[in-house]
Amino acid sequence: MLLALCACLLAGVQSHAIDLLPTFGDIDHIHLPALLVQHADGDQSLQLRPQDTTYINNPQYTETVIKTKDLVQPFYVTIHVRQWKAVEMTETWYDISHTEKRPVRLQRYDSGYLPIEGDNPYLLHLHGNWAAEGVPTVEPLTRGVKSIRNSDGARNAHLDAPEVMIALDGVPQENYGRVLGAALCWSGNFELRVAATDEKGFHFYAGIDPMASEYVLEPKKVFSTPHLAYTWSNEGMGGVSRAFHRWARTCGMLHNGNATRDILLNSWEGIYFDITEERILAMMNDIASFGGELFVMDDGWFGGKYQRNSDNAALGDWVVDTRKLPNGLKALTDAAKARHIKFGIWIEPEATNTLSEFYEKHPDWVLQERNRELKLGRGGTQLVLDMTNPKVQDFVFNLVDTLLTNNPEISYIKWDANASIQNCGSPYLASLSPSLWGRAGERLSNLYVDYHLGLVKTLERIRAKYPNVVIQNCASGGGRANYGLMPYFDEFWVSDNNDALQRVYIQWGTSYFFPSNAMAQHIGGSPYLMTGRTTPIKFRCDVAMSGRLGMELQPAHMTDEERAQCTVAFADYKELRPLIQLGNLYRLVSPYSLPCGEGRGEVAAQRVASLMYVSDTKDHAVLFAYGLSSFMKQSSRRIRLAGLDPDRTYTLHERNVRVQPPYSLPLGEGRGEVSALDGKSFTGAYLMSVGLDIPLSTEYNIDYPSRIFELK
């Protein structure tokens, strides 16, 4: 279908570029412009005509490259359409350049445009916020223009996210139906528009949000828009998700995409800023004793003149606080080695606090508006660095480089970003020569874009030197879960909310576009600090085990039962890890009822949620089932599986079995209560058409029951 679509688009482009790139000055009344520019002489029209078309046949993809030129001005756009071979995914983007006498202003510069025809199209988009990411809204597409945008400046997956699905024939279904999925590969401000401007259908446009971002493009420079990736499936939302996951893993859109990730303990919710060598060593002992593989020291380890005892000081002063860690990082990396685990560390490189030696030394290296009072973020003191400035880019690179050179045993970095761009001015962009730009400060409107180009340039340098260090992308939780940054990161922090019940929902929405080996899912404490909810340790483990497993609590506060359950969970997870982290995801029973939100994204809770992963060869699978609420005498629910080979017989093995007293380690055979399904065999056809009656609440007699079954 996509091939046909592209073929038709390419045929259309022979004389006219409108089908691939509607431009202002060349569109009919049913299109909106995807590209609108103001030429050096003030003219705003653009009539692009193809000059030359080439085809690239790469082992991994084919790419059509169409060079176009305006009929009047020396203004050029090269249109790229790349189709991946191993996965149903197309990427489009435009390279924009000119040789006009003065800079041209790009007033709208989308990455791609798609016509959409469907009898009853529905839109799915994700909305989220701190501690409540990935909430789907599913709504019918109606007349008018639907705009989804994000203006945070630095992060773009809190509030509205740059990915959508469009189902053509009514409410999107999980495993059947025609669905288009699209993601703008960009981490800054964006706008996705779906416009109904004629009788026949809809038009989808995606790109950088031009609001406050008219891009000033110098003669002979090339501006490449971010890529727009889109896929098509007849297998519903699940088919779209699997295409995105495969593309991320195999087409370079997730760093080391085909590798599995370690089980870790992160110090944040266990000790917050109260870091001491003693506490860190004790946490390392604990994670090692459970069978974990990595310890990550979060915020609070650095600071000189200003101490990092809260979020109001010391960002930018990346020296070890020897009052907390008298023997430095070496003592910690040595200790990790002695415990046969790896060591990771937290940084927030793009930020500083007014209370920092960095800010005292470089007040002009932060984003700020000339002659206006600074707006301060987290802690009442946080500021964002001016990543458009090459000197600041060097500073960020050197911070990482120095940390890793001095401590070669650091194998993991958590890269955080906890501030929006509130001060919309760049001393660096303002300083660029007015004689070149005609008027001082003309390039300030490039800030929102150049910030991200500067960030990506820095990340590219870091990756060139450190390809094997695992780097987590974190932004107050999942604020930067997007395909603009994912190529430089191995995983992302899904949410600061580790309440297992809410995680079922957050992870569900996030999985629409992102693969499980990228999704950091941690076992939190109970009662959970944010929600006060008490959940059984097995439920917390089972929820975290459906992605990249970790812990986010103080092990010193764990009960014997919790310790025993985590030890079992880690051991089982290691065996299931390739399947969970690299398998094909089938979401079976949604915790949401769709359409949901009635345009507002509210949670419409279901009683059960279930998902599974299946190996490529369909000989191995793992099923997760979660009870979300329990009532007396409720019947358990049949869950129909998906993605299996109908002719194959599968035997069920229950995993992460609930431990029972006594909890002394090691836990041998017969360690807990196994359901009656354990050891039973069924054909794939039976499992997919009749389904399984998963024993949830009835046998446990507890809230939040859950089960994991391996199928072989």
d(CA 708, CA 712): 13
Provide, rounded to whole angstroms, the least separation between the CB of residue 310 and ligand DGJ.
10
d(CA 682, CA 676): 14
Name the one range near ligand DGJ by CB under 6 A: 39-47, 56-64, 469-477, 523-531. 469-477
Report whether 176 contacts 688 (CB < 8 A): no
Provide, rounded to whole angstroms, the least separation between the CB of residue 453 and ligand DGJ.
25
Footprint (CB under 6 A) of ligand DGJ, residues 677-696: none
Provide, rounded to whole angstroms, the least separation between the CB of residue 690 and ligand DGJ.
43
Instruction: Give the list of residues 6+ apart from residue 322 with CB closer than 8 angstroms, or none.
Output: 328
d(CA 436, CA 438): 6
Name the one range near ligand DGJ by CB under 6 A: 223-231, 470-478, 506-514, 536-544. 470-478
Name the one range near ligand DGJ by CB under 6 A: 473-481, 505-513, 571-579, 666-674. 473-481
Distance spanning both ends of the chain, measured CA to CA: 34
Here the tokens at position 517 are 């080996």
Report whether 297 contacts 345 (CB < 8 A): yes
Provide, rounded to whole angstroms, the least separation between the CB of residue 309 and ligand DGJ.
12
Provide, rounded to whole angstroms, the least separation between the CB of residue 475 and ligand DGJ.
7
Here the tokens at position 31 are 């299109």
- Looking at residue 632, its amino acid is M
Q: What angle separates helix 560-582 from helix 277-290, to the nearest 10 degrees?
A: 70
Provide, rounded to whole angstroms, the least separation between the CB of residue 414 and ligand DGJ.
6
Report whether 461 contacts 397 (CB < 8 A): yes
- Which of 417, 403, 395 shows the shortest CA–CA distance to 319? 403
Nearer to ligand DGJ, 346 or 573 (CB): 346
Provide, rounded to whole angstroms, the least separation between the CB of residue 472 and ligand DGJ.
9
- Looking at residue 245, its amino acid is H
Provide, rounded to whole angstroms, the least separation between the CB of residue 181 and ligand DGJ.
27
Provide, rounded to whole angstroms, the least separation between the CB of residue 416 and ligand DGJ.
5
- Looking at residue 23, its amino acid is T
Query: CB burial class (10 A; 0-12, 13-18, 19+) of residue 29?
Result: exposed
Provide, rounded to whole angstroms, the least separation between the CB of residue 270 and ligand DGJ.
11
Nearer to ligand DGJ, 332 or 628 (CB): 332
Provide, rounded to whole angstroms, the least separation between the CB of residue 97 and ligand DGJ.
39
d(CA 537, CA 704): 10
User: Judged by CB under 6 A, how many residues of this single chain contact ligand DGJ?
Assistant: 12
Nearer to ligand DGJ, 112 or 270 (CB): 270
d(CA 306, CA 314): 5
Name the one range near ligand DGJ by CB under 6 A: 398-406, 471-479, 502-510, 563-571. 471-479
Nearer to ligand DGJ, 474 or 639 (CB): 474
Nearer to ligand DGJ, 262 or 552 (CB): 552
Nearer to ligand DGJ, 92 or 476 (CB): 476
Nearer to ligand DGJ, 157 or 687 (CB): 157
Selected binder of ligand DGJ within 110, 416, 499, 710 (CB under 6 A): 416
Is residue 299 a contact point for ligand DGJ (CB under 6 A)? yes
d(CA 79, CA 101): 23
d(CA 590, CA 243): 19
DSSP 396-415: HHHHHHHHHHH-TTEEEEEE
Is residue 298 a contact point for ligand DGJ (CB under 6 A)? yes
Per-residue x/- marks for ligand DGJ, 221-260, CB under 6 A? ----------------------------------------
Footprint (CB under 6 A) of ligand DGJ, residues 480-519: 493, 496
| 514 three-class SS | coil
Report whether 92 contacts 220 (CB < 8 A): no
Is residue 572 a contact point for ligand DGJ (CB under 6 A)? no
Nearer to ligand DGJ, 172 or 477 (CB): 477
Minimal CB distance residue for ligand DGJ? 299
Provide, rounded to whole angstroms, the least separation between the CB of residue 477 and ligand DGJ.
5
Instruction: Give the list of residues 6+ apart from residue 617 with CB closer than 8 angstroms, or none.
Output: none
Query: CB burial class (10 A; 0-12, 13-18, 19+) of residue 670?
Result: exposed
Nearer to ligand DGJ, 495 or 567 (CB): 495
Name the one range near ligand DGJ by CB under 6 A: 26-34, 73-81, 110-118, 472-480. 472-480
Q: What angle separates helix 537-544 from helix 560-582, to the nearest 10 degrees?
A: 20
- Dihedral, CA atoms, 262, 265, 267, 269, nearest 10 degrees? 120
Is residue 268 a contact point for ligand DGJ (CB under 6 A)? yes
Name the one range near ligand DGJ by CB under 6 A: 96-104, 286-294, 474-482, 691-699. 474-482
Instruction: Give the list of residues 6+ apart from residue 191 with CB closer than 8 angstroms, or none.
Output: 147, 148, 149, 205, 206, 207, 208, 209, 210, 211
d(CA 486, CA 185): 9
Query: CB burial class (10 A; 0-12, 13-18, 19+) of residue 119?
Result: exposed
Is residue 535 a contact point for ligand DGJ (CB under 6 A)? no
Is the bond into 695 cis (omega within 30 degrees of 0)? no
d(CA 294, CA 284): 8
Nearer to ligand DGJ, 393 or 472 (CB): 472
Report whether 260 contacts 580 (CB < 8 A): no
Is residue 315 a contact point for ligand DGJ (CB under 6 A)? no
Nearer to ligand DGJ, 153 or 300 (CB): 300
Provide, rounded to whole angstroms, the least separation between the CB of residue 256 and ligand DGJ.
22
Is residue 474 a contact point for ligand DGJ (CB under 6 A)? yes
- Which of 489, 484, 564, 555 shows the shortest CA–CA distance to 522? 555
Nearer to ligand DGJ, 194 or 385 (CB): 385
Provide, rounded to whole angstroms, the least separation between the CB of residue 355 and ligand DGJ.
15
Footprint (CB under 6 A) of ligand DGJ, residues 340-369: 346
Footprint (CB under 6 A) of ligand DGJ, residues 30-59: none
d(CA 475, CA 346): 12
Nearer to ligand DGJ, 91 or 262 (CB): 262
Nearer to ligand DGJ, 329 or 608 (CB): 329
Selected binder of ligand DGJ within 136, 477, 487, 524 (CB under 6 A): 477
Provide, rounded to whole angstroms, the least separation between the CB of residue 526 and ligand DGJ.
18
Output b/e per residue, 412-422; b: 16+ Cβ within 10 A: bbbbbbbbbbb
Provide, rounded to whole angstroms, the least separation between the CB of residue 701 and ligand DGJ.
34
Selected binder of ligand DGJ within 213, 354, 476, 581 (CB under 6 A): 476
Tell the residue number behind the tokens 């340039």, with chain if given.
457
Residues found near ligand DGJ in the complex (CB under 6 A):
268, 298-299, 311, 346, 416, 418, 474, 476-477, 493, 496
